[in-house]
Amino acid sequence: MRLGTLIAAGCTCALVGCGGDEPPPPREKPVQLEISAPADTALVQSASMLVSGRVSPAGARVRVQGRAARVSGGTFSAEVKLAQGPNVIDVAAMARGRAVALTAFRVTREERVAVPDLVGLAADDAAREAERLDLKLESERGGGFLDSLVPRRIAVCEQSPRPGRQVRRGTTVSVLVARSC
């Protein structure tokens, strides 16, 4: 018999586990993790929010967005800062002798702003003011066919939505612009 054949036979026995009848070790029971608030796909307006829930065993450690949460009597809570728009919040719970529990949920921070009063502003100034507040500006030219002869700057004559109304960032503000209103 050749040396290569003996080596191959030895490797096969090692891989098959020659004579080992031991079952695999039992799986660890996972930590029980439940999110109480906020709900998945929640829509909020604040820059931060409280994440809370329950965990078992009561002495488990919980991390929200990678930071330790307060855990007491099987309940946990953690304050989370939110970016504007969609956020994914991840939560992990671990305890000695238990498998880690992981979950994630989505929260959208929807910041509202007051629509500025654009009437009377030059068209360029109105565009800058809208951009500063993350609003989109949609201009329509008015004033009639003689408007181009009027020796004044182009200004905002009308707007919608009205000034002071609370709207989402990214909302379109429609303006009517002309040299004479």
Look up the CATH number of domain 26-109: 2.60.40.10
Confidence of residue 21 (pLDDT cuts 50, 70, 90): confident
Read off the pLDDT of each residue in 80-88 and give the average, rounded to a whole number: 94
Token pair for 137: 């500006």
- Average pLDDT of every residue of the chain: 87
Amino acid 172: pLDDT: 96
Confidence of residue 169 (pLDDT cuts 50, 70, 90): confident
Amino acid 20: pLDDT: 60
- Per-residue burial over 45-82, b if 16 or more Cβ lie within 10 Å, else e, is eeeebebbbbbbeeebbbbbbeeebebeeebbbbebeb
What is the model's pTM? 0.60
In this predicted structure, the answer to whether residue 75 has a pLDDT above a threshold of 60 is yes
Look up the CATH number of domain 112-178: 3.30.10.20
Confidence of residue 10 (pLDDT cuts 50, 70, 90): very low
Q: Where in the chain is the domain with CATH 3.30.10.20?
A: 112-178
Confidence of residue 146 (pLDDT cuts 50, 70, 90): confident
The torsion angle over the Cα atoms of residues 142, 116, 174 and 168, rounded to 10 degrees, is 180
In this predicted structure, the answer to whether residue 7 has a pLDDT above a threshold of 50 is no
Read off the pLDDT of each residue in 123-129 and give the average, rounded to a whole number: 95
Closest to 50 (Cα-Cα) out of 86, 75, 30: 75
